[in-house]
Structure 1
């Protein structure tokens, strides 16, 4: 089975949830070989029922203590552009499609998505371009996101202070 995990974190991003489960996008996911869809809807006003995506096994929830297992089991993560969600998916080495909420003012999410995209770590779009992005996405061009190496900073600091 090929799994998609969608997360909006702790926010309310109904537009993303409604777009992902639209008939058109469900068809695109099925055509691309996906068979399961898990939605984490956060504070959204819509909690889809399990049978609402014809052709996909679907599950939805608001919150869990941890979504780490959901990410690990996913073949594709579709996420809002929150830094925590993006870093968790990239740290789990998952194909990541970030959907920026373009209705936010002073959109720091767009800045984050653009920067991580420019470093070839993820793909991003908005709700209005989600369908086309799902149809054309190619994760083979992306580079793995390497975890931080805090020991390098510690070595530098030791050397700068004359400890090592």
Structure 2
């Protein structure tokens, strides 16, 4: 009996202390950490082609979502920040709130290393919250089209525990 309780207790402690600091599903892989007073994200999408976009959203739903959008146009990667307030493209920030350390596109793979301030558009990204990963969407005549699949949600991401 004591051994069973001990095993259960150890298993519970392991679950509580484990922290989600990475994501991998389908074409998208990401990992993140707090570094130098910012949230640093390494992002990769292995199925993104010219005139497509992919994104990370912070928040529970489309009605109030801070976003980092990676757009591939003419073989170049553009990274923008903004806010989605409903179903439709986000409103981009007048001044980009992302520091792009590296972003490139080769073949069908986008790789990026970016950081955003811990207070990202009025949201403390260190707090535990839902993150959304959008696999892809089209860009038509320079405008973002609707994403082609439901975003993958990761609940209770506590970036403050990722160092």
Does TM-score exceed 0.5, indicating one fold?
no
TM-score, normalised via structure 1 length? 0.26
* Higher RCO (CA < 8 A, seq sep 6+): 2
Structure with more strand by fraction: 2
